[in-house]
């Protein structure tokens, strides 16, 4: 059989490479154009929404006078209806600056900051004055655990680190003149000091 020889340019591998390169280039250009259009639309939408929004300016808020405590109405501070028993709760500031809340009148040497009528809780025990200090905060725990010194594992770690430092110092002193005997000796010492 005779083989058909083709001298045609269409059958050459160079043509295949050129066609594939052209397809890749067309694909890249289409991809770039698509993303440009998408970004342009997003930019236009942001610009339109920015124009549609009113301009926000920082204007200082007017300073309002706080009403007196007696005119502030809170649900627990308003007098309850006549059929519900209420108690008078007083806030007293003592001479040392601490605050006391009580259902009894304030002591003579303290200042009554306010008195409000409140409904007592149903199953609360008999109320007694509660003193709140204004000084430094109280510690969360009564006592803190004391430091008892290093543990056995701490001592082992320190001993291991000391031996390693001694070995490094010897290695630096010897330099590159190390022998197998040196390496074995250092390995044994480190293994004895650092079993973990």
Residue percentage of the chain with pLDDT more than 70: 63
Retrieve residue 11's tokens.
């059958």
Place of tokens 């600056």: 97
Q: What is the pLDDT of residue 126?
A: 56
Neighbours of 101 (CB within 10 A): 14
Look-up: residue for tokens 């109320």? 127
Q: What digits encode the pLDDT tens for the residues 110-129?
A: 888 888 888 877 655 555 55
Interval 27-40: pLDDT, tens: 888 888 888 888 88
pLDDT at site 54: 56
The tens digit of pLDDT for each residue in 78-110 reads 555 556 778 888 888 888 888 888 888 888 888
DSSP character at residue 125? -
Which residue is listed with tokens 């890249």? 28
Which run of H or E residues covers position 158?
A: helix 152-174
Q: In this structure, what DSSP letter does residue 94 have?
A: -
**Is the pLDDT assigned to residue 41 strictly greater than 70?**
yes
Average pLDDT value over all residues in the chain = 76
């Amino acid at each position: 059989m005779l083989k058909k020889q083709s001298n045609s340019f269409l059958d050459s591998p160079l043509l295949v490479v050129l066609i594939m390169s052209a397809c890749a280039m067309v694909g890249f250009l289409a991809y770039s154009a698509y993303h440009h259009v998408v970004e342009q639309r997003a930019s236009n939408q942001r610009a339109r929404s920015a124009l549609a929004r009113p301009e926000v300016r920082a204007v200082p808020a007017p300073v309002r006078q706080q009403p007196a405590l007696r005119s502030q109405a809170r649900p627990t501070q308003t007098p309850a209806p006549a059929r519900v028993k209420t108690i008078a709760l007083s806030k007293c500031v003592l001479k040392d600056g601490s605050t006391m809340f009580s259902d009894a009148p304030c002591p003579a040497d303290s200042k009554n900051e306010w008195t409000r009528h409140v409904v007592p809780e149903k199953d609360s025990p008999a109320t007694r004055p509660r003193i709140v200090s204004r000084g430094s905060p109280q510690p969360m725990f009564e006592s803190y655990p004391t430091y008892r010194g290093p543990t056995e594992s701490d001592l082992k770690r320190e001993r291991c680190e000391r031996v390693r430092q001694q070995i490094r110092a010897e290695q630096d002193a010897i330099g590159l003149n190390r022998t197998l005997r040196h390496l074995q000796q250092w390995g044994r010492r480190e293994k004895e000091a650092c079993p973990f």
